[in-house]
Structure 1
Amino acid sequence: MNTLNTLTTPLDLDALRGATLHTSPFVWGAVRGTLREPALGRLVEEFPGAGFTRTERPSGRPGEKGYRTDNLALVADDEAVEAGFRQLTPLWRDLVRTLMSAGYRRTVGELIGRDVSRARMEVRAVRYSAGAWIDPHTDRTDKLVTQTWYFNADWPAANRGEFQVLGSSAADDVVERVLPLAGESIVLCPSESSWHSVAPVSDAAKEDRKVLLLHLTAA
């Protein structure tokens, strides 16, 4: 029995293990049920609100994606970031520590068919305020897998801010859109064809788009 997959942790590794990934236009999948109730509701309520740093780059620079996000580093090079952990509730700390475990790495590695046991991990909480976005990009190819979780209990489609699977580098070549609703998670394997973006959050949105982002990068 996997001791990490008990009710003592909000993360359900069996749900992740049983996910189905698409192979077109690249390897990705929308995964549901990886965070258990009632823990998911608490994680939504307790999403960190302080300690974030804004990063921004304007669109239109050749060979560079434009973006604006507010970030709170939680794990860097496999090590917990103390300043970030201080902004977390005990339940959130438990979730991040579970993501740092060998059990999570083993499960996501089985899902994507790659050994990620020695990959370097980065985890951060991200807020997208009104107008925030990320231009079409593929991610660096040294990233073996990216997983994101969303923490908005309610997110009307009019708020925009969707994760967009793209068929090419063109912003309007949208294959699939995923709203950032709590319980949704995206698994993505970066490649030369893994074009994706985040649509700009509407100025009318009443709350930030809230995300937990994890990268596993080749050592």
Structure 2
Amino acid sequence: MSELDITATGTTVDKPFPHLVFAEDTLLTRAEADQLTATFPHWSALTSSTRTQGSDKSYSMNTLLLHDRGRWLVRLEQLPDCWSNLLSGLVESSYRDWLVSRLCGTHDRVELEVRLSEYPRGGWMSRHTDRPDKVFSQNIYLCPEWQPTWGGELRLYHHETAAHPQATYRPGAGTSVAFMRSDRSWHEVAAVSDTAAAPRRALLLHGYRSTM
């Protein structure tokens, strides 16, 4: 059974903006991360998304929205046990509240969005901050044996036009980065190299301000 360990101790990093970093074998065991990776939905189940410049961000990736603020968009009973257990546990447990408390120091109620992302070779996301109604974002990577030359790292910046990132995180097997949304939480996903042996895959958790 796969489930996130809400007792896990993440490392708090202050620059360029406060964020939490979870190493391998903390939120998920390596065995759980490997099992989730091995049963990740086939690319044809995901929707190819491309947005060009002219909006708040540009990107090229594949996504699958699983749960959107109280509504399931997939049938859990049709998923492998490791996925159905993890997803139902995420939505039904106090994990989101624990994460808001860790990131924001508050106990505000949030509504959860859960989606899968897959960046194939050449996939990327441009530098941006998230929309104002978002409270937090968390990336849980499912990329065992990811190599530095494959690109796809998460880059965090202190400013929209900063020449270099102040923090960079390579995808891993169950590793994770979570941060609170702010007007200065600039971040991007570097392009995945043509030499990458696998897509850059992640489970994404987004918390939005509750409207109730």
TM more than 0.5 = yes
Match of 2:145 among 150, 154, 170: 154
Residue deviations 1:15-67, cap 9 Å, x none? 0xx323223321212112101243222112112224100111123x2x52110
The separation in 2 between residues aligned to 1:79 and 1:31, in whole angstroms, is: 28
TM-score by length of 1: 0.87
Structure 1 residue ranges (4+ consecutive) displaced by more than 6 angstroms after TM superposition: none
Unmatched runs of 5 consecutive residues or more in structure 2: none
The separation in 1 between residues aligned to 2:169 and 2:68, in whole angstroms, is: 27
Residues 1:47 and 2:40 are matched in the alignment: yes
Q: Residues 15-34 of structure 1: matches in 2 within 5 Å?
A: 15=8, 18-32=9-23, 33-34=26-27
RMSD over aligned Cα, in angstroms? 1.8
Aligned in 2, Cα 1:134/1:30: closer, same or farther, shift over 3 Å?
Answer: same
Equivalent residue of 1:170, what SS?
Answer: coil
Residue deviations 1:156-200, cap 9 Å, x none? 111101000112113642111111111210111110000000001
Query: Are 1:159 and 1:201, in contact at CA under 8 Å, matched by a contact in 2?
Result: yes
The separation in 1 between residues aligned to 2:30 and 2:193, in whole angstroms, is: 29
**Larger strand fraction of residues:** 2
Percent identity between matched residues is: 30
Q: Which amino acid aligns with 2:36?
A: L
The separation in 2 between residues aligned to 1:11 and 1:123, in whole angstroms, is: 14
Aligned to 2:188: 197
- Displacement of 1:205: 1.2
Query: Are 2:16 and 2:167, in contact at CA under 8 Å, matched by a contact in 1?
Result: no
Segment drifting more, 97-106 vs 65-74 = 97-106
Aligned to 1:167: 158
Unmatched runs of 5 consecutive residues or more in structure 1: 1-7
Residue deviations 1:127-160, cap 9 Å, x none? 1001110000011121111111000111111110
Match of 2:169 among 168, 178, 191: 178
Equivalent residue of 1:47, what SS?
Answer: coil
